[in-house]
Chain A
Amino acid sequence: MVTVVHPNLEKTDAKMSAREVSVYYGDKKAIDEVSIDIPTKYVTAFIGPSGCGKSTFLRTLNRMNDTIPSARVEGSITLDGEDVYRSKMDVVQLRARVGMVFQKPNPFPKSIYDNIAYGPKIHGLASGKTELDEVVEKSLRRAGLWNEVKDRLEDSGTALSGGQQQRLCIARAIAVDPEVILMDEPCSALDPIATAKIEELIDELNGSYAIVIVTHSMQQAARVSQRTAFFHLGKMVEYGRTSDIFTNPLEERTKDYITGRYG
């Protein structure tokens, strides 16, 4: 076993489980036998230096790596016990259940309303205009954006500020009512105030969705997550409760990273 798991990590319901997952880009091994349970009710943070594979691993959870032709995944990943990589798995359905928010805000060049309504529309989740209006309002409210944009829903989503765009993307992910939300460094392109708002939002969403966040900022991991996994050179070095990882790291490399010796 390459990963050190903290002994006082209590058992919780796992929404997603990865078992000995390895990811290759061509011949290069980017992820080496990672095993982890993503709990249903908590925020899980992946931390680690640049290029350690945390984003790659995140993208295997909803099969976004499928878009990279050379990428290959070994091992098993399950969502509620179903194998995500089995041939019968419907990728469209998987991604509706496991939503994703990206590093750089990427609203569609459409109106704010259409940005949110797009997911429910293609999945047929809302029948009729009133129901769609409700979904849009509910999603924007949950993302804490409603009061800022309610009077200009027809404006382009790209006209919003960076922080607002990222909350719009989170609202867009929420609109299809996923079970898991993956966030790939959602605050790295934002200023501290916008970052604080996103973190607040993650706190509020915690409990309703299983959330996985990849972050460069250890402070952010400490603030928003209950579970932390430390990645280094494609391996998951240490995993445990966030408080344990930050106050009592067991591995030398973890200790060096969180004390700022490298990374």
Chain B
Amino acid sequence: MSERIAPTRTPAFEARLKKRYAAERRFKLAGLGAILFSVAVLAFLLITMTINGIGGFQRAEMNVAIDFTEAGLSGDQTTLSQIGAVQVLEAQGLPATVEYFAEQQLGEAGGAEISTSAWRQVADEIIDDPSILQREETFSLPASPDLAAGLSGEGSDEMKALAAQLSAQGKLETKLDLGFLERADATDPQEVGIWGALKGSMLTMIVTLLLAFPIGVMAALYLEEYAPKNRWTDVIEVSINNLAAVPSIIFGLLGLAVFLWLFPNMRSAPLIGGMTLALMTMPVIVISGRNAIKAVPPSIRDGALAIGASKVQVVFHHVLPLALPGILTGTIIGMARALGETAPLLMIGMRAFVATPPDGFTSPATVLPVQIFLWSDEIDRGFVERTSAAIIVLLVFLLLMNGLAIYLRNRFEKKW
């Protein structure tokens, strides 16, 4: 009679064991590969954006000294603090003055390549400090897009030569342009800024959050805690899930058909944009909110009910605080999607050319992704770098928003 060998000690078992370990190693390697690939793609994206975008925060500027004692412009604190001061200065011949001094100092060819709206920058500085009119002052004024292209080694040979000559004389140089963060859209890439779109995005996001968050959370709470489980709630659940998957441009059409029909004077307004994006964000918040509420252990509800808490007290004292981290996670995802959304906003007119930053929820505005889309469509070479710079601003905004939400989530996180 042969001795019995335990089935776990046969060679066949050992071979199977080896295969199991090999499968585990393959799986680990595949996972690691996936992570490395994503990190590489992300790094490539960020590095290209940064390299291209840095140029967007700079522009070619020329130094022009203007002696206002010879220019014969007049104005004091009171006249210049009124609305229309820019027009007053224009009527007194400020553009011609700027042109004259530019030609004097930069030569005829160089003076002609001062940006056509450079005098507006001079006017702004005069309005800020009227005492400039009594003395000589040196301004750093933007060059024309053609000359800027020449300086970066592109454009016509003529401009390249002029740019080389002027920069050799120290009259033309590339300077950090923080004004990019303060100005709004313009036709001249040297004059554009992102503040208009950034402010538009902020206002739109505020409207979206104020609408989508409370409505989404209340809907989720009602559906989970109060609504009877029957065919109607099933239909509502399916509808909400479908709503989350509807292409965003459809929401834009809805905004166009409903909101702009209700408020016809608010085309391009952040209020309408925010309402449209709120429709899109709400289902995401409802779905994640319901999952978070479902994850709150029933024993907590029982415990509170058993000492005589009413249903509302159970919901607001126990369920909602415990579900909040999960709800916030869903809100981050929804808001991040809304921030990057372009298509529905095109439908409600937020692709208009808006040269002044919006001063409220109802004034015309555009938002960052739409601004990026518009600039990427421009022919002028100078817009390429500005577009990358706008993308950097969008990504930084997104990071700050998500960072805040993650901070809030971790603060509310509790263990049970």
Contact = CB atoms under 8 A, between A and B. Distances in A.
A158 B414 CA distance: 10
Given A106-B300, A122-B313, A172 B228 contact: no
Contacts of B28: none
Contact of A108 (B228, B229, B318): B318
B307 A119 contact: yes
Given A99-B307, A158-B415, 5 more contacts: A67-B305, A106-B300, A119-B307, A119-B308, A173-B306
Interface stretch (A3-11, A13-21, A88-96, A208-216): A88-96
B307 A95 contact: yes
Nearest to A103: B299
A173 B307 contact: yes
A123 interface: yes
Interface in A80-136: 92-96, 99-102, 104, 106-109, 118-119, 122-123
A109 B299 CA distance: 11
Contacts of B2: none
A109 B416 contact: yes
Contact of A69 (B229, B301, B302): B229
B308 A107 contact: no
Given A106-B300, A108-B300, A95 B415 contact: no
Given A106-B299, A109-B414, A172 B307 contact: yes
Contact of B317 (A93, A118, A123): A118
- Per DSSP, chain B at the interface is helix
B118 interface: no
Interface in B217-270: 228-229
B249 to A, nearest CB: 41
B309 interface: yes
B310 interface: yes
B299 A102 contact: yes
Contacts of B318: 108
B303 interface: yes
Contact of A96 (B297, B302, B308, B317): B308
Nearest to B228: A69
A69 B301 CA distance: 15
19 contacts: A69-B228, A69-B229, A93-B308, A96-B307, A99-B307, A100-B306, A107-B303, A108-B300, A109-B414, A109-B416, A118-B317, A119-B308, A158-B415, A158-B416, A169-B303, A172-B303, A173-B306, A175-B307, A176-B307
Contacts of A95: 305-308
Contacts of B335: none
**For this complex, into which size category does the number of interface residues on chain B fall?**
20 to 34
A64 B306 contact: yes
Q: Which of B310, B414, B416 is most buried by chain A, counting CB atoms within 10 A of its CB?
A: B416
B322 interface: yes
Contacts of A158: 415-416
A107 B415 CA distance: 11
A62 B309 CA distance: 13
B354 interface: no
A109 B320 CA distance: 13
B229 A92 contact: no
Contacts of B301: 67
A92 B308 contact: yes
A109 B322 contact: yes
A62 B228 CA distance: 22
A176 B305 CA distance: 13
Nearest to B416: A109
B302 A67 contact: yes
Contacts of A101: 306
Interface in B301-338: 301-310, 313, 317-318, 322
